A and B are shown apart, each in its own frame.
Chain A
Amino acid sequence: MPDVWHYQMVAAVLFMIGIMGVLVRRNVIVMFMCIELMLNAANLSLIAFSRLWGNLDGQIFVFMVIIVAAVEVAVGLAIIIALVRNRDTVNIEESSLLKW
């Protein structure tokens, strides 16, 4: 029987994969997908802790995170579309008008 810490380990690994993607990849859309992975990992952690403590706060939290993620994706992809219209690249290193 898996206990809560097994779920936490899975969440931690997923979270770190997300961080790695944001740091290593340079395609903005993929970086953005990796941020979604990070949010998902946190969601798994919240759901597991919610079951552990037997209260619903964690599940409400995840409900809200899903709403926030949906809004974030809509706005983020709109920003990407506006950028690509003007520049024709999604590689973040080619966006260098502003120095990093």
Chain B
Amino acid sequence: MTFGEIVHLVINEQNLFIFFSTVAILSALGVVLNLSNTVYAALSLVVSMLALAGLFVMLNAEFVGVLQVMIYAGAIVVLFLFVVMLLNLRGGEMAADRQPFLKLVGAGIVIAATVKLTSLLGAARSNPSGIQKDWMPVGPEFGSVRDIGLVLYTDYLLLFQVSGILLLAGIVAAVILAKQKVD
């Protein structure tokens, strides 16, 4: 076997899918189960989002994948880290836990719901009535900056403008709430 064949054997779509989704799920669990340190939870969140960006690229969403890395991993989680370090709050969550039993019940219900949801999706897979059955064939341009831009600036122009006002309102709101002193 040549080196190239070995590479193809290891890095194929299936293995990449398994790799990215395992990393995404495990690091998401890391966010929830990490009780001691909020910084680790934030770092775990970054890993999960990067893995998701990998899945996005596999699904022909290159532009959105890049956005995911830039905005989620690059801006949102960094903001989380800033706030965690700025406030410098230390753990102690276990001590304040007043209703551990209620939480166990809640976790149990959520796990049961997860099993139910995945089985529903499995049922939809085996009997996809009315739903597109297999991947639609798409051109290589699908999900590129050019295609997204074409749709965004024509069909979704109004939406794009509204999102600008949303960002402005968010800036105004964040400044007024977080400013140290307002004169």
Listed in ascending order, the chain A residues whose CB lies under 8 Å from chain B are 1-10, 12-21, 23-27, 29-30, 32-34, 36-37, 40, 43-44, 47-48, 50-54, 56-57, 59-60, 62-64, 66-75, 77-82, 84, 89-91, 93-94
Contact = CB atoms under 8 A, between A and B. Distances in A.
Interface residues on B, range: 35 or more
A14 B26 CA distance: 9
Binding site secondary structure of chain A: helix
Contacts of B79: 73-74, 77
Interface of B: 13-14, 17, 21, 24-25, 28-29, 31-32, 38, 41-42, 45, 48-49, 52, 55-56, 59-61, 63-64, 67-68, 71-72, 75-76, 79-80, 83-84, 86-87, 89, 92-93, 96-98, 103, 106-107, 110-111, 113-114, 117-118, 121-122, 124-125, 132, 134-138, 142-143, 147-148, 151-152, 156, 159, 163, 166-167, 169-171, 173-175, 177-178
Contacts of A26: 93, 96-97
Given A52-B132, A56-B148, A12 B38 contact: no
A13 B56 contact: no
A71 B166 CA distance: 7
22 contacts: A5-B121, A5-B124, A5-B125, A12-B114, A13-B114, A17-B28, A20-B107, A20-B111, A23-B107, A33-B41, A36-B72, A40-B52, A43-B52, A47-B56, A51-B59, A54-B135, A67-B163, A68-B163, A69-B71, A75-B173, A77-B79, A81-B178
A16 B106 contact: no
A72 B163 CA distance: 12
